[in-house]
């Protein structure tokens, strides 16, 4: 039996699917790494994790640009009419709001982290070989102002990821409408 979402016009393009899952894994890894590294005492491991965190965050920023450009040039497949008709308006609005928030935070979190790192006087050297320009001038007061913005925007991103996953699971386990298959 074929899924109602098995036709190419109703599923996401493989490039969109690949970017989605690559960013999902990278973002979850960054969030976990951020919690772990900030809880460690000053040590070589903590410094190594901070560098890896920055490297992955810059890669996420680049992938987010690619994903955004892809999205601008490739419209996502529309919901099948029967599914769209069965979905309450609040769910469609929540879907749009969560996705808009995710896209905004894909950029805001790494840019705030980069700005914080620059203001604190810790340059970002991607993969240890490519020095990136300071996003803002060294300014300890600015660094202290940016630090909580980076942290709280990361928490907001984690919350939106959790909502996104919860919505996908609801469609898969409660509605059983095949919606999750569009991004598989």
Tokens of 70: 């892809």
**What percent of the chain has pLDDT above 90?**
69
Could you tell me which of 113, 118, 173, 99 has the C-alpha nearest to residue 147? 113
Interval 2-23 mean pLDDT: 75
pLDDT band at 1 (very low <50, low <70, confident <90, very high): very low
CA nearest to 180, candidates 48, 42, 49, 3: 3
- Residue 77 · residue 21 · CB < 8 Å: no
Query: Does residue 26 fall inside a structural domain?
Result: yes
CATH classification at residue 125:
1.20.950.20
Q: Which residue has the higher pLDDT, 82 or 145?
A: 145
The count of other CB atoms within 10 Å of the CB of residue 75 is: 7
Cβ atoms within 10 Å, residue 54: 22
- Which residues touch 4 (CB under 8 Å, ≥6 apart)? 10, 80, 82, 83, 177, 178
Give the DSSP per-residue string, 98-148: HHHHHHHHHHHHHHHHHHHHHHTT---EETTTEEPPPSS---HHHHHHHHH
> What six digits make up the tokens of 76?
């996502």
Residue 25: inside a domain, yes or no? yes
More confident residue, 180 or 4: 180
- What pLDDT is attached to residue 4? 47
The structure's pTM equals: 0.88
Q: What percent of the chain has pLDDT over 70?
A: 95
Q: Has residue 83 been placed in a domain? A: no
Q: Does a structural domain hold residue 82?
A: no
Q: Which domain holds residue 138?
A: 8-77+88-183
pLDDT for 179 beyond 50? yes
Let me know if residue 1 belongs to a domain.
no
In a domain, 108, yes or no: yes
Whether residue 22 lies inside any domain: the answer is yes
Residue-wise pLDDT tens digits, 110-169 = 999 999 999 999 999 988 899 999 989 999 999 999 999 999 999 999 999 999 999 888
Whether pLDDT at 174 is above 50: yes
At 92 the pLDDT is 86
d(CA 126, CA 117) in angstroms, rounded, equals: 13
For range 48-71, the mean pLDDT:
94
- Give 86's pLDDT tier (boundaries 50, 70, 90): confident
If one counts the domains in the chain, the total is 1
């Amino acid at each position: 039996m074929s899924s109602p979402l098995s036709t190419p016009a109703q599923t996401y393009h493989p490039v969109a699917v690949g970017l989605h899952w690559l960013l999902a894994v990278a973002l979850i890894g960054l969030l976990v790494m951020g919690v772990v590294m900030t809880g460690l005492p000053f040590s070589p491991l903590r410094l190594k994790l901070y560098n890896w965190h920055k490297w992955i965050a810059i890669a996420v920023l680049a992938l987010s640009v690619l994903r955004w450009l892809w999205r601008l040039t490739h419209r996502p497949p529309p919901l099948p009419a029967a599914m769209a008709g069965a979905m309450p308006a609040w769910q469609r609005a929540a879907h749009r709001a969560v996705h808009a928030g995710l896209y905004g935070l894909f950029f805001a979190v790494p840019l705030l982290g980069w700005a914080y790192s620059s203001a604190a006087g810790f340059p970002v050297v991607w993969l240890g070989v490519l020095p990136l320009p300071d996003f803002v001038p060294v300014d300890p007061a600015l660094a202290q102002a940016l630090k909580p913005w980076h942290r709280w925007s990361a928490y907001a991103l984690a919350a939106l990821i959790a909502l996104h996953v919860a919505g996908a699971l609801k469609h898969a386990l409660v509605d059983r409408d095949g919606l999750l298959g569009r991004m598989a």
